[in-house]
Chain A
Amino acid sequence: MRKEKKQVKNSKKRSRAGMIWYRFRKNKLALIGLIVLIVMAILALIAPLIVSYEKATKQNASLRMKPPSAEHIFGTDPYGRDVFARIIWGARTSLSVGIETVFFSLLMGGTIGAVAGYFGGKVDDILMRFMDILLAIPSLVLALSIVAALGTSLTNLMLALAIARTPQFARVVRASVMPLRDMEYVEAARACGTSTARILLKHIIPNAFGPIVVQTTIQIGNAILNISSLSFVGLGIQPPAPEWGSMLSDVKDYMRQEPLQVLAPGIAIILTVFAFNRIGDGLRDALDPRLKN
């Protein structure tokens, strides 16, 4: 009894962020995801301190397909590059490209969704029909056709993936903006003569924060999967830049000799995507407890 009271007292003292953290923490898998992601991010950030970029990219014919040793923990790939170095530097590539791509689509989708949801009517109809059509094309197919038209480069890859996930963000933001636009405080802001852009940015978007954060987290995992898929078929990140998907395509013909080289990049991808998915899930429960179950 006393314990319960103490808990209630404690929870009252917590700030909103504290409350979210308290609920997030209870989701063990989400916590594991967060830890995995933090470790990945640290490895990606300090990659230059762990192993040189040159080791990850410089080809060396005399070192082809060496088995794991003290010098090369995961061995070397068919071009004589250190697999461990490529995994670490690959984390840098995957995380940065994945995050940047998703923020770009958040910006595009968010703007479209906010405008559609706030103005409603014809604007909403036209914008959302357009988004529906984009959504009807499988995202990988859409991304492929954009890469096909613009050519393979890092910018084009990011643009393609960002456009392919724009409709998802437009939908989420629109759904969170719509119920807010008729709230009294928004009307009050309008009566004060606040500009539409300011109302959206200052008064509406912050309240739609939860679903947007959740969607962003899950989409980053998704984008990382797509980047590796496109790189695997040779249309994503171009060699010699280290990327997990293209590492797999490099060893495809040699995998019988060194199975570890197939396992390592794959496990790196799975861990990262799993981490993002779990964090997204945990945030969903933590930000909006009503949604749980």
Chain B
Amino acid sequence: MLKYILKRLLLLIPVIIGISFIIFSIMQLTPGDPAREILGDNAAQEAVDALREEMGLNDPFLVQYGRYMWRAARGNFGTSYQTGQSVMKQILERFPTTIYLAIGATLVAIIIGVPVGLISAVKQYSLMDDVSTIFSMVLTAIPNFWLGLVLMLALSLKLKWFPAYGATSLKHFVLPWITLSCMTLAVLIRMTRSSMLEVIRQDYIRTARAKGAKESRIVFRHALRNALLPVITVIGTQLSVQLGGAIIVETVFSIPGLGTMIISGIKTKDIPVVMGGVMFIALVGGLVNLLVDILYAYIDPRLKSRYVGTKRDRKRLNQAKKEVTGDA
């Protein structure tokens, strides 16, 4: 297992370099001079030139990229043009809010999506199945910021059940969670349904039925466990999508997270803030996918057996497998 984790971690390195390189290159396209941006329009040209030299803006592109990454690796994303504060400090202050939002939304989607998908698979072609299919189709077409506005209008402004803005208590997060979860919810309903339908037609399920196992036992003990494997992968990819979606949802509910930081950074042309924020979100997304892959290997014994145990164990296992399949 350790070998698998290490292997995956190593594979993450080129992805990190790739992502950061692309984002760094994009940000280099920004018109205007950062030194001029910091000193203001009235500064003397000599002062701007001196600052350019000091910031290393005259160095070749690759040198600048290397320097940025070297600093970033040690937790330094530069300082904000606007506030002069460390970007890393801002990110660390705001990141817990964003991840809390994304994880909460994912949980909402799992809690609703998996059971709904399960029921519509078990009762295929029933009314419940049709309703949930249409429901998930509509969900994929709903822009999440609009859902946020409608929920806010109905549940906070009219009924006053939840606060409309801010992020100070659990109650503040209920509407943003529901809002952000809608896309993932749709994906999970469809994924659970199709994966469950595939599993439920397999021979071992028929065997379980033939031996007289109760339907509930067949569904929960035999089918669901296998059907959930692809669903877990989807949850992983969705979590990184959620981090992107959080940018918009945070704006709707004025939540002080990474998203609102990036948007205001873009509006004030605060490049270090935008670059740091975007880079951080992309990297966390990559890490989350890695974690999910590891979790996946841990849950799926077929994958796990490839990495668990000593070499001799694995050899024996393979031997046994070959004997069973008869291609020794």
Does A pair with B?
yes
Residues of A at the B interface (CB closer than 8 Å) are 29, 129-130, 132-134, 136-141, 144-151, 221, 225, 228-229, 232-235, 245, 248, 252, 255-256, 259, 262-263, 265-266, 269-271, 273-274, 277-278
**Binding site secondary structure of chain A:** helix
Q: Who on chain B is nearest to A273 by CB?
A: B141
CB pair B285 A137 closer than 8 Å: yes
Within B101-152, which residues are at the interface with A (CB < 8 Å)? 134, 137-138, 140-146, 149-150, 152
Measured CA separation A129–B245 after assembly (Å): 25
Number of interface residues of B (CB under 8 A): 51
Measured CA separation A202–B311 after assembly (Å): 53
Measured CA separation A18–B244 after assembly (Å): 42
CB pair A146 B247 closer than 8 Å: no
Q: Who on chain B is nearest to A235 by CB?
A: B266
CB pair A129 B18 closer than 8 Å: yes
Measured CA separation A252–B145 after assembly (Å): 11
- Known contacts: A130-B18, A269-B146, A274-B137. The answer to whether A144 contacts B23 by CB under 8 A is no
Neighbouring B residues of A252 by C-beta, 8 Å: 149, 252
CB pair A229 B143 closer than 8 Å: yes
**Contact among A145, A271, A273 with B278 in the assembled complex (CB-CB below 8 Å):** A145
CB pair B149 A221 closer than 8 Å: no
Neighbouring B residues of A148 by C-beta, 8 Å: 27, 30, 262, 265-266, 271, 274, 278
Neighbouring B residues of A229 by C-beta, 8 Å: 143-145, 248
CB pair A270 B141 closer than 8 Å: yes
Minimum distance in angstroms from A1 CB to a CB of chain B: 27
Q: What are 18 A-B interface contacts by the 8 Å CB criterion?
A: A129-B18, A136-B285, A136-B289, A138-B244, A141-B282, A144-B266, A148-B27, A149-B29, A150-B29, A228-B143, A232-B145, A232-B251, A252-B252, A255-B149, A255-B152, A270-B143, A273-B143, A277-B141
Neighbouring B residues of A130 by C-beta, 8 Å: 18
Neighbouring B residues of A277 by C-beta, 8 Å: 137, 140-141
Neighbouring B residues of A150 by C-beta, 8 Å: 29-31
CB pair A149 B30 closer than 8 Å: yes
Neighbouring B residues of A136 by C-beta, 8 Å: 15, 18-19, 282, 285-286, 289
- Interface check B243, CB cutoff 8 A: yes
- Interface check B153, CB cutoff 8 A: yes
Neighbouring A residues of B271 by C-beta, 8 Å: 148-149
CB pair A278 B137 closer than 8 Å: yes
CB pair A144 B278 closer than 8 Å: yes
List of 5 A-B pairs having minimum Cβ-Cβ separation, nearest first = A138-B244, A133-B18, A266-B146, A273-B141, A274-B141
Minimum distance in angstroms from B145 CB to a CB of chain A: 5
- Known contacts: A248-B149, A266-B150, A278-B137. The answer to whether A137 contacts B157 by CB under 8 A is no
**Contact among B138, B150, B289 with A262 in the assembled complex (CB-CB below 8 Å):** B150
**Contact among B26, B245, B263 with A146 in the assembled complex (CB-CB below 8 Å):** B26
CB pair A140 B244 closer than 8 Å: yes
Neighbouring B residues of A266 by C-beta, 8 Å: 142-143, 146, 149-150
**Contact among B18, B251, B282 with A233 in the assembled complex (CB-CB below 8 Å):** B251
- Interface check B241, CB cutoff 8 A: yes
- Interface check B22, CB cutoff 8 A: yes
Neighbouring B residues of A29 by C-beta, 8 Å: 134, 137
- Interface check B281, CB cutoff 8 A: yes
CB pair A145 B26 closer than 8 Å: yes
Within B214-251, which residues are at the interface with A (CB < 8 Å)? 240-241, 243-245, 247-248, 251
- Most A CB contacts (10 A, CB to CB) among B14, B145, B150 go to B145
Q: Who on chain B is nearest to A249 by CB?
A: B145
Neighbouring B residues of A134 by C-beta, 8 Å: 22
- Interface check B267, CB cutoff 8 A: yes
Neighbouring A residues of B252 by C-beta, 8 Å: 252
CB pair A138 B243 closer than 8 Å: yes
